[in-house]
């Protein structure tokens, strides 16, 4: 039987696969600019959006993407599903599988949820964010947005600032950027940037001024207000004093620096309004590119035959995690 392709994360996904996905998104952009924003390629296919954690833009982005490819979409969210009645994720997934979906998009508060689904189901699984693990389509659209502004990703210096520890966006971006040959700097308070991140191949910075210097791309992460009071940093004001990207700091970056933010942003905390609204800010491009990128992912996982992308491998379980 043909191996099902998954996108569980960007860890282990080859540079060739990433390039094919980014190139395909280029084609999808053109479709989104037409009067008739629809192509028939996924006609008769069913995409299930299983969103078990709050999300507006990612869910809508996946839904529009599937519809523009003519797929039928089914949306399930936490409250309305049988998970709220005590069913396990694996059992919910098996029930979904009985309806023969052609792909399942999953957002879940626990790391590893997408992998669990890929283990039990015989259908392509797309991770739309699992806990603090990965959010590969967000990273792909970030890579795509960077590539639109700077054609060669190899050799670029990309600085990611903020709550690296809890950020699945940062993790996926680190894997993708390093695979494509970019240099990655991470910056944040030591409580949110543990030394283990160095093992992935990134540079660690605790001072924003040095992290900004000559950077080609600044990627600002959202500070989750709910983390205040958990001893990661004393107050939002203090965080902003050290890690808010201002126009003054940005002057030290490369002259054609671009700014990315996965949204929703906190003005005045991780990013000043001047920077957020400045000409180098590509946040609105990110949103538009998100639909095209997700169209590319759905197409590549559902349609091409043996010479298509490989996608993610399902990681081997260690004996301890198998019982956990």
Partner 1 sequence: MSSQLFDAAQLRRALTRIAHEILERNGGADGLALVGIRTHGVPLAGRIAESIGLIEGGDAPAVGAMDITLYRDDAGQLGSTAILHPTDVPFDVNHMTIVLVDDVLYTGRTIRSAMDALMDLGRPAAIQLAVAVDRGHRELPIRADYVGKNVPTSREQKVVVELTELDDRDGVFLQEASHGA
Picking from 91, 129, 92, the residue whose alpha carbon sits closest to that of residue 108 is 129
Interaction between residue 144 and partner 1 (CB under 8 A): no
Strand-pair partners of 127: 106
Q: How far is the CB of 199 from partner 1 (least distance, A)?
A: 33
Picking from 202, 162, 207, 210, the residue whose alpha carbon sits closest to that of residue 185 is 202
Strand-pair partners of 126: 7, 105
Interaction between residue 164 and partner 1 (CB under 8 A): no
Q: What is the 3-state secondary structure (H, E, C) of 291-321?
A: HHHHHHHHHHHHCCCCCCCCCECCCCCCHHH
Task: Between 204 and 303, name the residue whose CB sits nearer to partner 1.
Answer: 303
Three-class DSSP category at 94: helix
Residue choice 3, 30, 80, 318 for contact with partner 1 (CB under 8 A)? 30
Q: How far is the CB of 285 from partner 1 (least distance, A)?
A: 17
Residue choice 122, 226, 307, 316 for contact with partner 1 (CB under 8 A)? 307
Contacting residues for 88 by C-beta, under 8 A, at least 6 apart: none
Task: Between 219 and 295, name the residue whose CB sits nearer to partner 1.
Answer: 295
Residue choice 14, 38, 82, 235 for contact with partner 1 (CB under 8 A)? 38
Interaction between residue 288 and partner 1 (CB under 8 A): no
Task: Between 15 and 29, name the residue whose CB sits nearer to partner 1.
Answer: 29
Task: Between 68 and 135, name the residue whose CB sits nearer to partner 1.
Answer: 68
How far is C-alpha 56 from the chain's CA centre? 14
Q: How far is the CB of 291 from partner 1 (least distance, A)?
A: 15
Interaction between residue 14 and partner 1 (CB under 8 A): no
Contact 292, 243 (CB under 8 A): no
- For residue 128, what are its two tokens? 């739309």
- For residue 108, what are its two tokens? 């879940």
Residue choice 7, 11, 22, 24 for contact with partner 1 (CB under 8 A)? 24
Residues 57-96 that bind partner 1 (CB under 8 A): 69
Single out the segment in contact with partner 1 by CB under 8 A; choices: 7-15, 17-25, 131-139, 199-207: 17-25
Single out the segment in contact with partner 1 by CB under 8 A; choices: 76-84, 236-244, 245-253, 307-315: 307-315
Residue choice 46, 309, 311, 312 for contact with partner 1 (CB under 8 A)? 309
Interaction between residue 31 and partner 1 (CB under 8 A): yes
Three-class DSSP category at 132: coil
Single out the segment in contact with partner 1 by CB under 8 A; choices: 20-28, 226-234, 272-280, 312-320: 20-28
Task: Between 25 and 116, name the residue whose CB sits nearer to partner 1.
Answer: 25
Q: Is 259 exposed, middle or buried (0-12, 13-18, 19+ CB in 10 A)?
A: buried
Contact 114, 124 (CB under 8 A): no
Interaction between residue 26 and partner 1 (CB under 8 A): yes
Q: Which H/E stretch holds residue 265?
A: none
Interaction between residue 1 and partner 1 (CB under 8 A): no
Q: How far is the C-alpha of 167 from the C-alpha of 309, rounded, in Å?
A: 26
Contact 278, 260 (CB under 8 A): no
Pairing of strands 46-51, 72-77: parallel
Q: How far is the CB of 307 from partner 1 (least distance, A)?
A: 5
Query: Which chain residues interact with partner 1 by CB under 8 A?
Result: 20, 23-24, 26-31, 34-36, 38-41, 69, 296, 299-300, 302-309
């Amino acid at each position: 039987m043909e191996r099902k392709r998954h996108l569980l994360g960007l860890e282990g996904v080859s540079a060739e696969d990433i390039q094919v996905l980014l190139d395909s998104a280029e084609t999808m952009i053109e479709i989104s600019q037409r009067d008739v924003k629809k192509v028939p390629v996924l006609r008769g296919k069913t995409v299930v959006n299983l969103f078990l954690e709050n999300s507006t833009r990612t869910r809508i982005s996946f839904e529009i993407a599937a519809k523009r490819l003519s797929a039928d979409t089914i949306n399930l969210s936490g409250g309305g599903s049988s998970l709220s009645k005590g069913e396990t994720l694996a059992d919910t997934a098996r029930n979904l599988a009985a309806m023969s979906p052609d792909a399942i998009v999953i957002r879940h508060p626990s790391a590893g949820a997408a992998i669990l689904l890929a283990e039990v189901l015989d259908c392509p699984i797309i991770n739309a964010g699992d806990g603090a693990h990965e959010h590969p389509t967000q990273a792909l659209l970030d890579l795509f947005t960077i590539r639109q502004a700077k054609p060669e990703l190899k050799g670029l210096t990309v600085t990611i600032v903020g709550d690296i520890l809890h950020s699945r966006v940062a993790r996926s971006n680190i894997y993708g950027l390093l695979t494509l040959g970019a240099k990655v700097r991470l910056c944040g308070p030591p409580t949110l940037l543990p030394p283990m991140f160095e093992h992935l191949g990134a540079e660690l910075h605790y001072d924003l001024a040095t992290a900004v210097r000559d950077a080609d791309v600044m990627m600002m992460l959202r500070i989750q207000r709910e983390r205040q009071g958990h001893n990661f940093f004393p107050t939002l004001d203090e965080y902003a004093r050290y890690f808010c990207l201002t126009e003054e700091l940005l002057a030290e970056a490369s002259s054609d620096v671009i700014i990315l933010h996965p949204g929703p942003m906190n003005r005045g905390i991780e990013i000043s309004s001047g920077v957020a609204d400045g000409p180098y800010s590509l946040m609105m491009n990110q949103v538009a590119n998100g639909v095209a990128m997700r169209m590319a992912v759905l197409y590549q996982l559902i349609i091409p035959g043996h010479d298509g992308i490989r996608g993610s491998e399902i990681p081997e379980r260690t004996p301890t995690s198998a019982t956990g």
